[in-house]
């Protein structure tokens, strides 16, 4: 299949090409040119996540050099579960747990799929590839984990010095080998600016092949449709009803993956976007006016996005405001309500939720009763609460158990290089290191 830019449908690329490029050359985002229909009945109950992934994604990779490797790629990327766990009380509510990967957040799915694809595209003969990621938290950890130890690929993770939580910083600095982290004396915006400047810099592009692995890459979005497929099929098999998902949202990558899965014919009913105090999307659905703005800092920090880039993909799918409004609804949840919901989740249901998951739980609580009662609702749990223990523990009055995968990361020695927020500092630091790129 070909993929077209959201800004120019004449501009197309194949699967592997779109993954390697990240952004289309005109600055648009790649979207599928066709929507193959999936027959829900053709999947058996025994099928693994990796098996569902290989079949669901096969039409997208068809004709591409990567196509024959797809089953191997999904087996490698989806080697941990994404269970749908019912919440007690005989209710119609469940949680989709997406935090069982190496860095305990849903970004592991996309990052691992992309890494498995790019390492096959690179091949031994190609120029070494440098992946530059600016991160304010979760993305950098997932990308670092996914590319760690892969030959021919070097990763540079840039984060704002002193502005990520201690738990997050450890996840960004514990790798070594081909993954190096840089504490930038500046803000997240400075980190992002550095990455963009490096991409535009001719000398950089001559020295090394650059890729970004950021969340607008098609190779991170498509694999996320796989867990929505698996979860909706499991719910449908069990209850004979379509599942409705409440998705904690920032850049809308996770939500667009859910909507794409529905478009492919999977048994998915409503999609509700749960945003924190960054209310650009809920306000757009209400007023019809798109007013991106600077982000504000909240407890659910991985969703602090004021100008969600994947809105462009949603609008490509639904050009008309009325269509978008019937495809999704959205709400905004402030920090006070997030705190209250974390407490209530623990007291009433014995659940320990990260601030992002609590945003979805609050959005559920605010649905009209008849909508709650007539749907099969699934809260999407995007991160393990242990990643946000500084926030969660004081609210529930106990320690959060740390999953084994995270404990392993926390035990590794940490190392990072501090740099000024300019391109020359980054170039010098990359050159002196043990880097393979130059
Ligand atoms: C990235 C992230 C989100 C937001 O996902 P988008 O795809 O950007 O909407 C939500 N929760 C957690 C824990 C995240 O890391």
β-sheet with 329-332: strand ranges across: 84-86, 93-97, 376-381, 243-248, 268-275, 329-332
The CA 392 to ligand 1 mean position distance, Å, reads 17
> Has residue 437 got a pLDDT over 50?
no
The CA 249 to ligand 1 mean position distance, Å, reads 6
d(CA 218, CA 225): 11
* Confidence at residue 126, expressed as pLDDT on a 0 to 100 scale: 66
Strand partners, 380: 96
Record the tokens describing residue 312, joined without a space.
């462009």
pTM of the model: 0.94
Q: What is the CA radius of gyration of the chain?
A: 21
Record the tokens describing residue 211, joined without a space.
């890729």
d(CA 298, CA 70): 38
Q: Which atom of ligand 1 is nearest to the CA of 256?
A: 7
Strand partners, 153: 129
Strand partners, 377: 93, 244
Testing ligand 1's pocket by substitution, the residue of 102, 142, 248 carrying the most ligand atoms inside 8 A of its CB is 248
- Chain segment 208-264, per-residue pLDDT in tens: 788 878 778 999 999 999 999 999 999 999 999 999 999 999 999 999 999 999 999
Of all residues in the chain, the percent with pLDDT exceeding 70 is 97
d(CA 58, CA 169): 37
Mean pLDDT over 313-337 rounds to 97
β-sheet with 417-420: strand ranges across: 209-211, 129-134, 153-160, 179-185, 417-420
Q: Which atom of ligand 1 is nearest to the CA of 357?
A: 11
Strand partners, 4: 12, 31
Q: Check if the beta carbon of residue 104 is closer than 8 Å to that of residue 406.
A: yes
Kindly list the distances between the CA atom of residue 323 and the CA atoms of 26, 138, 181, 192, 328, in Å, as whole numbers in the listed order.
26, 32, 43, 33, 9
Q: Which atom of ligand 1 is nearest to the CA of 224?
A: 7
* Confidence at residue 410, expressed as pLDDT on a 0 to 100 scale: 86
The CA 248 to ligand 1 mean position distance, Å, reads 7
* Confidence at residue 114, expressed as pLDDT on a 0 to 100 scale: 96
The CA 437 to ligand 1 mean position distance, Å, reads 30
Testing ligand 1's pocket by substitution, the residue of 251, 260, 385, 406 carrying the most ligand atoms inside 8 A of its CB is 251
Q: Which residues line ligand 1 (CB under 6 A)?
A: 105, 107, 138, 215, 248-255, 302-303, 356, 382-383
> Has residue 434 got a pLDDT over 90?
no
- Chain segment 18-73, per-residue pLDDT in tens: 998 888 888 899 999 999 999 888 898 889 999 999 999 999 999 999 999 999 99
Q: DSSP per residue over 150-184, as a string?
A: -TTEEEEEEEETT-S-HHHHHHHHS-BTTEEEEEE
* Confidence at residue 125, expressed as pLDDT on a 0 to 100 scale: 60
What is the dotted CATH code of the domain comprising 78-106+219-402? 3.40.50.1100
Record the tokens describing residue 256, joined without a space.
């667009």
* Confidence at residue 72, expressed as pLDDT on a 0 to 100 scale: 98
The CA 60 to ligand 1 mean position distance, Å, reads 24
**For the chain, domain boundaries:** 78-106+219-402
The CA 299 to ligand 1 mean position distance, Å, reads 13
Q: What is the chain's mean pLDDT, rounded?
A: 92
- Chain segment 362-392, per-residue pLDDT in tens: 999 999 999 999 999 999 999 999 999 999 9
Residue 152's pLDDT band (boundaries 50, 70, 90)? confident
Q: Cα 223 from chain centroid?
A: 10
Q: How many CB atoms lie within 10 A of CB 297?
A: 12
CA 383, 385, 386, 391: dihedral to nearest 10 degrees?
120
């Amino acid at each position: 299949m070909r993929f077209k830019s959201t800004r120019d449908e004449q501009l197309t690329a194949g699967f592997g090409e779109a993954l390697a490029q990240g952004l289309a050359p005109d600055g648009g985002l790649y979207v599928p040119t066709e929507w193959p229909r999936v027959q829900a009945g053709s999947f058996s109950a025994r099928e693994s996540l990796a098996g569902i992934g290989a079949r669901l994604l096969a039409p997208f990779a068809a004709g591409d050099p990567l196509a024959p490797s797809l089953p191997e790629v999904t087996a490698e990327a989806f080697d941990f579960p994404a269970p749908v766990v019912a919440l007690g009380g005989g209710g119609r509510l469940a949680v989709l747990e997406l935090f069982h990967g190496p860095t305990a957040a849903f970004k592991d799915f996309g990052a691992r799929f992309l890494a498995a694809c790019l390492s096959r595209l690179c091949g031994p003969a190609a120029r070494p590839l440098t992946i530059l990621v600016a991160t304010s938290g979760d993305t950098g950890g997932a990308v670092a984990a996914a590319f760690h130890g892969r030959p021919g690929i070097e990763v540079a993770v840039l984060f704002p010095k002193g502005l990520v939580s201690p738990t997050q910083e450890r996840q960004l600095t514990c790798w070594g080998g081909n993954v190096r982290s840089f504490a930038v004396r500046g803000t997240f915006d400075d980190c992002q600016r550095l990455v963009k400047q490096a991409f535009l810099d001719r000398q950089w592009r001559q020295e090394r092949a650059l890729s970004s692995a950021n969340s607008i890459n098609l190779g991170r979005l498509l694999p996320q449709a796989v867990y929505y497929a698996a979860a909706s099929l499991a719910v449908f098999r069990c209850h004979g009803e379509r599942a409705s998902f409440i998705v904690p949202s920032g850049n809308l990558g996770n939500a667009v993956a859910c909507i794409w899965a529905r478009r492919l014919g999977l048994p998915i009913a409503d999609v509700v976007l749960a945003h924190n105090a960054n209310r650009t999307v809920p306000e757009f659905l209400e007023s019809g006016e798109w007013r991106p703005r600077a982000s504000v800092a909240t407890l659910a920090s991985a969703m602090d996005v004021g100008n969600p880039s994947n809105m462009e993909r949603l609008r490509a799918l639904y050009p008309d405001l009325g269509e978008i409004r019937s495809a999704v609804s959205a709400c905004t949840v402030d920090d006070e309500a997030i705190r209250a919901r974390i407490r209530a989740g623990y007291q009433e249901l014995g659940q320990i939720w990260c601030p992002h998951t609590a945003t979805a739980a609050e959005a559920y609580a605010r649905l009209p009763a008849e909508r709650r009662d007539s749907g099969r609702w699934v809260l999407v749990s995007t991160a393990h609460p242990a990643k946000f223990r500084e926030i969660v523990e004081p609210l529930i009055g106990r320690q959060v158990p740390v999953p084994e995968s995270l404990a392993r990361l926390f035990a590794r020695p940490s190392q990072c290089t501090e740099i000024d927020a300019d391109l020359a500092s980054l170039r010098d630091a990359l050159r002196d290191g043990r880097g393979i790129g130059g």
